[in-house]
Structure 1
Amino acid sequence: MKIKIKPFILVCLCAVMASCASTVQTQKQNKIAQAIKKEGDVFQTQGNYTAALNKLLEAEKMAPDDPYIQNSLGLAYMGKERDDMGITAFNKALSLKPDYTEALNNLGVAYLRDDKPNIAIKTFNMVLEDITYPTPHYPLANIGWAQLAQNNYPVAQKYFLKALREVPGFIPAIHGLAQLYIRTGQTDRAIKYLDKNIRRSPDTVIFHKDLAQTYETCGRARQAIKAWQVVKQLAPENSNLYHEAEQRLFELQ
């Protein structure tokens, strides 16, 4: 009996050793993939979405079932204005980690940017169902933007104000309210609101852009030019805001 058992034991030991070697190799690959992901995330924060995407695709090859890499990929695709591919990546992240609420919120943003506001609102409401989610002001403001896209101004205002009750000074909600005032013809209210927030946060470029837009809306070209000049000073040279400011100054001067 002992002679018969030995080959079986040997086979089992070989299988265990092979399994251990495979596990070690996988762990090593995952560690490298996470390091590459970090590089991609850094590029992303710098606005270099092409470099970010290259790094994240490299990381994905090494760890295709990592939900965090998929989430970062989704953000990079959105940075490249490929919201459809972002939606695919966020959905994959959620299939790998169903309780990944951050990816769910990002999915809602991708739907909103892809002109699917109703699906976006449903997605953001799912985010709000997670009472442990630490940043509910994001989905609240996002619902505001989705309602604004559908010209549902009272509902949009309600959600922007809810977001600001969670985090006073939350820039996307302030920007949203300013846009709401502009679109509803409340230019005096918009100017007063933006002046107050610019005093609190003078380097927030989007506030100056909103102010320039408000001045243009009510025909105050001189003030609009001054506001666009501030936008050009504050915005990075390769950004859309910088180029928009250049274009508006060219047309107004």
Structure 2
Amino acid sequence: MACQHNRFWIVGILVIAFLSGCVPNETLRKQGESSRNLGEAYMAQQNYTAALKELLAAEQLTPDDPYLHNDLGLTYMAKDRLDLAIQHFKKALVLKPDYAPAMNNLGTVYLAQQNWDAAIVCFKAITGDLLYATPHFPLSNLGFAYYNQKKYDLSAKYYQEALKIEPGFPMAIRGLGRTYQAQGKRVEAIALLEEGVKLFPKSPELYNELGAAYLASKNYSAATAAYTKVIELSQPSSPLAKEAQKSLDSLRTKDSSISPK
């Protein structure tokens, strides 16, 4: 009887020890989630330094959180630390191999590094994922990667697939318009981009691409109007506004009827 009593006593101690060990772990998890949520709030405000501080604090508490590592990757991307971004996206994928957004983000870093082959591997890995909510993103990214490899037929194919899923996706409209121009399909490029600026009348990027298509077709007055719109819609000191102004300056040498701005 004494032996049985001792056995229950020992089991009781073990249960208490297990439960007491769970409490600090659960507390750490909640603290980590709180820091991650605060970091994500800073990310939404584009305050990446404050975000990084909170996310690194969260990493100390919950180092095995794949969503945290994805956030860290995005934050390091915003701070132009692509090497660290790659590390954290890869860590997120080790912890959660089916984490499609992290795979897409990893591919995006490779695009920024102009590592087209590595980017293509990442995007192809998730284009068939039926559970991924935004497949038009990796499809459009594939279009961009193949465009830069000068594989224009493949580029057009993936941009078109992206637009079948999300017909009003501006990145794919712009990319396909550019690809059509590279293929010498100027009529198709202009038609697509004209529809694009109707859908997104405040997009300087689309107007800039449309201006280039008009310029290639020697429609100088239409090109001038498009580039002027780019300047109107862009920040005056932005690279896009400066590029549009250079295009306007070049156009004046072709068409003396264009008045200086």
Q: TM-score range by the shorter chain?
A: 0.7 to 0.9
Aligned position for 1:244: 240
Asked if the contact 2:69–2:91 (Cα under 8 Å) also holds between the matched residues in 1, the reply is: yes
CA distance in 2 between counterparts of 1:61 and 1:216 reads: 55
Aligned position for 1:122: 121
Letter aligned with residue 246 of structure 1: K
Alpha-carbon distance, 1:132 to partner: 2.2
**Greater Cα shift, 4-13 or 146-155:** 4-13
The superposition leaves residues 60-104 of structure 1 with CA deviations (integer Å, 9 ceiling, x where unpaired) of 333322111211222222223333322211111011111111111
Aligned position for 2:148: 149
CA distance in 2 between counterparts of 1:95 and 1:134 reads: 21
Alpha-carbon distance, 1:202 to partner: 0.9
When the two chains are superposed, the root-mean-square deviation of aligned CA atoms in Å is 3.0
How has the CA–CA distance of structure 1 residues 81 and 210 changed in structure 2, closer, same or farther, with 3 Å as cutoff?
A: farther
How has the CA–CA distance of structure 1 residues 81 and 215 changed in structure 2, closer, same or farther, with 3 Å as cutoff?
A: farther
Q: Which has the larger radius of gyration?
A: 2
Alpha-carbon distance, 1:219 to partner: 6.3
**Greater Cα shift, 11-20 or 59-68:** 11-20
Letter aligned with residue 108 of structure 1: G
Question: Is 1:96 aligned to residue 95 of structure 2?
Answer: yes
Identity of aligned residues (%): 34
Aligned position for 1:176: 175
Q: Give unpaired runs (5+ residues) of structure 1.
A: none
CA distance in 2 between counterparts of 1:62 and 1:133 reads: 29
The superposition leaves residues 128-173 of structure 1 with CA deviations (integer Å, 9 ceiling, x where unpaired) of 2322223222222121111111000111111111111112121121
Q: Give unpaired runs (5+ residues) of structure 2.
A: 250-259
Alpha-carbon distance, 1:199 to partner: 1.5
Aligned position for 2:18: 16
How has the CA–CA distance of structure 1 residues 85 and 226 changed in structure 2, closer, same or farther, with 3 Å as cutoff?
A: farther
Letter aligned with residue 100 of structure 1: Y
How has the CA–CA distance of structure 1 residues 98 and 182 changed in structure 2, closer, same or farther, with 3 Å as cutoff?
A: same
Give the 5 Å matches for 1:7-156.
8=10, 11-12=13-14, 15-16=17-18, 18-44=20-46, 48-156=47-155
Helix, strand or coil for the counterpart of 1:65?
A: coil
Helix, strand or coil for the counterpart of 1:109?
A: helix
How has the CA–CA distance of structure 1 residues 201 and 84 changed in structure 2, closer, same or farther, with 3 Å as cutoff?
A: same
Letter aligned with residue 245 of structure 1: A
Alpha-carbon distance, 1:176 to partner: 0.8
Alpha-carbon distance, 1:126 to partner: 1.2
The superposition leaves residues 207-241 of structure 1 with CA deviations (integer Å, 9 ceiling, x where unpaired) of 11212333455666665454344334434678xxx
